[in-house]
Amino acid sequence: MKHCPKCNKEKPFEAFYASSTHKSGYASWCKECESERNRLKTQKYRDSRLVKAKQWRDENKDKQAVAIRAWREQNFERKNHVRNYHLGHRMDAVQTHGG
């Protein structure tokens, strides 16, 4: 039997996760407490991430729109530039080999 300090209960070793980081070879908390802690941690993390993302969106609505527009304009120009470059290059090649 092993004592879990979280729920303050004596539980059989099977109720604890095996852990190489602990000297006893078992996690200090029982499986129930560990999974409860993981559940809370995941939930808290997810909630805070959602809240932060929403806050960021609210604060940066205008900035984001400007950034997206600027990105689109930049990429549009770059695409055209690349296409013109390829077209010109290909025409050069045709002239050189076909001439």
Is-contact 8 14, C-beta < 8 A? no
Q: Which stretch binds Zn ion (CB under 5 A): 2-10, 19-27, 50-58, 59-67?
A: 2-10
**Phi-psi region at 10: left, alpha or beta (left = phi > 0; alpha = psi -120 to 50):** beta
Tell me how far apart the alpha carbons of residues 39 and 34 are, in angstroms, rounded to a whole number.
Answer: 9
Which one, 3 or 59, has the nearer CB to Zn ion?
A: 3
State which of positions 6-25 bind Zn ion (CB under 5 A): 6-7
Do 2 and 16 meet the contact criterion of CB atoms below 8 Å apart?
Answer: yes
**Min dist. Cβ of residue 51 to Zn ion (A):** 30
87 near Zn ion (CB under 5 A) = no
**Least distance from C-beta 37 to Zn ion, angstroms?**
10
Residue 27 has a CB neighbour count (10 Å cut-off) of: 17
What binding mask, one character per residue, do residues 31-60 give for Zn ion by CB under 5 A, x or -?
--x---------------------------
